[in-house]
Amino acid sequence: MASTYYSYQAPPLKHYQMSLERIDKFISEIYFTDVNLQSRLLAKHVAPTTLSHFKADGRFDFKLAQCAEYEPVEVGYNFGPIWSSHWFKVNFQVPKDFVSGLSEDEEVLFYWDTCTEATIWDENTSAPIGAFSCAEPHGNVRDYIPVTNQLKSSTSLSFLIEVACNKVLGEGKGSFIGPPDDSVSYTIRKCRLSVRNSKVKALIRDLQLLHDIAKELKDEERGFTALYVANEIINLLQLEDADASNRALSLSSQFFAEGNGAGQHVIHAVGHCHMDCAWLWPYDETKRKCSRSWSATLELMDRYPEWTFACSSAQQYKWVQTLYPGLFQRIKQSVASGRFIPVGGSWVEMDGYLPSGESMCRQMLFGQKYFIENFGIQCTEFWLPDTFGYSAQLPQIIQHFGMTRFFTQKISWNLFNKFPHHTFFWKGLDGSKVLSHFAPGDSYHMEAKVGEFVKTIRNFEDKGRSCKSIFLFGHGDGGQGPTEDMLENLKRLKDVNGLPRVKLSTPGEFFSSIEQTDLQNLCTWSGELYLEMHNGTYTTQSKIKWYNRRCESLLHTLEFLGTLCYVSNLREYPFKELDAIWESVLLNQFHDVLPGSSVEIANIDARKIYFQALSSGTTLLTDLLHTLSTENSAHEVGNAPTHLPTVVNSLGWSRTEVVAVEHTPCVEQKDSEGNSYCLVTVCGYSVSPCTPCIEYHPVTVRQTSFADGSGETIIMSNNKVYAEIDRAGCLTVLKYVLDPISQTYSRNLLSGNANQFTLYDDIPLFWDAWDVMDYHQETRRCLTEVLTSAIVKEEGPLRCSVEVTLKISNSSHIKQLIILEAKSSCIKVECNVEWNENRKFLKVEFPLDIVSDHVTYESQFGHIRRPTHRNTSWDSAKYEVCCQKWMDLSDYSSGVAILNDCKYGCSVTQYSTLSLSLLRAPKSPDPTADMGSHQFTYAILPHGGSIQDSGVIQSAAALNTPLIVMDEVPKVAASSLFTTDQPSVVIDTVKLSEDSRETGSRCVIIRCYESFGGSCEATLSLSPNYTMSSAKECNGLEREVEDLKIKQHSFTASFGPFKVKTFKILF
């Protein structure tokens, strides 16, 4: 039934689809453009008076561009190549009658199109003021700016345009995620002034919305009404009637003014511009993308003052602050007015699985600190819309840094299961809960189209529990953000019968509305948010992941040593150096860089950044070690070593390990290459002379032949582990020692050959660098061709080793050194791989004779369990998962852990076969991914009892944080700086407090976590060589929340399961 508020002529007979097509063709930019509504849109045109060009040598050279020599060019001019930068000067001398003849319905636009991204600069302020962009094959995102106001004061217009030779989503060859096409060139396709009829443009927008409502609500009364109104408008506009446009606009306005009831779903529309720090382009291009997108956003805010823009990633703000200070000042003003809204509270939108727990903390510490210092704002929403899964510890970490809300949408990409909620509580590993929302439109770059609003309300999983959702509008991934068309659509659709109500809003306003009315109705999801897709990113770009782990370990050690130097009055704490290293590492943890899903040029940049971070960190490490020690001027007297080496242990517990040494009297073993080894014991968090272990059970290795002459095996053992190794390096027997005195062993924990390398075909459906599909498991092939049979390289007594080389293919091989050391529970495997494959997947597997329904995997600040079975679709989806430094399969009596020093991908098959994922070979978007040489180490740890009692956690940490041996004499006393009486409580970080930068206070931060999964009371103690004046528990931002009672040099704190706590100690 037609509305009573307005009238239209509904034809007696109407074919629905034909009518939809009629509307579509009447506003089409492709079909019948000489007679449809598009033919009335643009009237007069003015060509540029002059157009000239300058090719720059690089990016960020505005001053050079101002004074450069430009060559005349014309529309149609070709330039390139990809990633190059070009500048164009455009001048218009506009005829007076061109402006004076404008009606109130006409406006002048400057059109520019080179099928690239481009920035318009204001030469007076030296700041970007707008942008053009092309996202082909999807068409232009933005190809004009309004200039009517400028022409009111002058008939001369000049523009300085910086052109970046790439589209919004790069230049993939074959597909948008393909490697960049180096042969591409670009052309000036448009450069003109044109007069646009604003009424015609409004009618085009109205008809498009009416068409879409009729299409989306095809079987509903409101859909028919939209169809008939649009049909009537077209009929009106066919008349030779000067008032036809006004009558048509009145008809559409009446349709859009017919509102909803009070109980309709409310969509909170928030402007957004998802900006990948790097992806199909390098970091440096993102810096310009920020300037383009944010200057265009501010220009749009000047014309549409009612909307707000949410923007994450402190790193990107800092780039703009450094490179575009004028633009940054405009952003600060907009932030102060509440329209440009920092969100997320992190340095970048990092990966949700791969960074360590402390790295995640620093993402938020650096991010929140930046927003507080520069804008006076502390974010309350953690914003991570596009990462590839979310750690179970994120809710606790989010809360620890002052955020109580979480937003994403990525889990909508699941391949197996539809996630059951959109608004819910997310419960973390320790029991912390955060209010969470997934945009039900399944996107973070909506375009304010009718279909998106309809999908949002139909897709919403929490109907009856809540009636609100977030709608992020604005082009994303490569930036650009909201457009004029989006904002015009939102104005029309804010309250339209048949559609959800639309409210221009902010993230804070949305979450507050949920908190005020809906909390009691919401469900809870407990544990990780596993993305059933993109699980190949746990392995792709192995070198980047190697760098990340090395940097995390190095920073841990540097901060401890810097703190020890400071509290010992030996030097200032190296805030500046550490900040620079941390910022580099945090940047590279961006969710397309650390996962390995970026183009080659971005990966090259990432490796350079990591290399510089490691280089700077190593230099600082040397400086700190020298500060803490005194050089021994006489290493030898009569060729005899005169002193014990100094050992640095930056972990929180005592360690007894074999180390390589020089100039020391405690050498127990030398190998054929001249390396010297001794067995030392050193206390936790200390720099002290090593204590040689005089009594120990030597490690042994022997080679034996089978009685039937069928082959040989090598037996390695010490007082903790027994293993048999075949000629291909496979472990055929693995036992742990039950009684070292009687040398009794456990049963063999293997059900087949372990340390078995396997190769798989790895051809996903589309997302090459991202995805490993479940069917890859059907292509398993064992690597059995031996190039060099297992041979004993070292025979003890401290260390024995076996070397073997295997063929992978004609162009790839792997050499492994299998090592067992005295007093070690681990068999280490050092691997050197030459890898030159095409879409292959290399794993190493360990079939175990252990029955359990779950495998335990280390996560950030704890561990989680995942099933060994495939009972449900949720279980089946987890055929490739992520861990930090270890995974373990155990039953009640025994188990085996696999430790690693830089790997993240892993899996379990056949209920009890553990596999560690080593290397992939995708070809898009980086055809060189993982090609070349690789070095990595993993270890096998058989044990009795539980994970908690067997040293798995400590052994994995030790593998990643080796003892440091130096030849100098320490200046500090040989004692642990910090200790705890609870083995379950790990002192994970020791650093100087942030407020010590300004105040000079001697406050030290220690961050601890409960690692076993249980509650306890822990006493944390300071070395008696120092004085503890006060101790306070604080949050992650180091704001004090509770005073703690000090007893001598210690204090006591309560820990729940997997609880993370931060303490501030005044020396």
Cite the active site residues: 386
User: Exposed e or buried b for every residue in 549-577, given b needs 16+ CB within 10 A?
Assistant: bbbbbbbbbbbbbbbbbbbbeeeebbeeb
3-state secondary structure of 24: helix
3-state secondary structure of 107: strand
Edge-to-edge order in the sheet of strand 731-739: 700-705, 712-717, 721-725, 731-739, 744-745
CB 493 within 8 A of CB 264: no
Task: Give 743's DSSP letter.
Answer: T
The residue written with tokens 């000629």 in the block is 727
Cα 358 from Cα 1060, distance rounded (Å): 10
CB 946 within 8 A of CB 890: yes
CA terminus-to-terminus distance, the chain: 79
CB 374 within 8 A of CB 342: no
What stretch of H or E contains 1017?
strand 1016-1022
Cα 779 from Cα 658, distance rounded (Å): 41
CB 835 within 8 A of CB 938: no
CB 53 within 8 A of CB 79: yes
Kindly give the pairing relationship between strand 781-782 and strand 756-761: antiparallel
Residues 6+ apart with CB under 8 A from 106: 43, 195, 196, 197, 198
Q: Select from 704, 693, 702, 703 the least CA-distant residue to 669.
A: 693
Q: Select from 851, 850, 849, 883 the least CA-distant residue to 866.
A: 883
Contacts of residues 787-794 at CB distance under 8 Å and 24 or more positions apart, as own/partner, are 787/813, 788/815, 789/727, 789/728, 790/714, 790/725, 790/726, 790/727, 790/728, 790/729, 790/818, 792/701, 792/703, 792/714, 793/671, 793/672, 793/817, 794/669, 794/671, 794/672, 794/701, 794/819
Distances (CA, A) of 238 to 63, 216, 241, 244, 251: 53, 26, 8, 8, 15
Q: Write out the two tokens for 535.
A: 């699980």
Cα 969 from Cα 964, distance rounded (Å): 13
- In degrees, rounded to 5, the angle at the alpha carbon of residue 962 between the alpha carbons of residues 956 and 963 is 130
3-state secondary structure of 606: helix
Residues 6+ apart with CB under 8 A from 590: 276, 277, 278, 348, 349, 350, 351
Q: Select from 63, 64, 61, 58 the least CA-distant residue to 84.
A: 58
In the chain, how long is the greatest CA-to-CA distance? Answer: 114
What backbone torsions phi and psi does residue 259 show, to the nearest 5 degrees? -90, 180
Cα 294 from Cα 331, distance rounded (Å): 8
CA 686 from centroid of its chain's CA atoms: 34
Cα 392 from Cα 431, distance rounded (Å): 10
What backbone torsions phi and psi does residue 765 show, to the nearest 5 degrees? -75, -35
Distances (CA, A) of 640 to 550, 643, 664, 666, 667: 36, 10, 8, 11, 12
Q: Select from 697, 700, 695, 662 the least CA-distant residue to 681.
A: 695
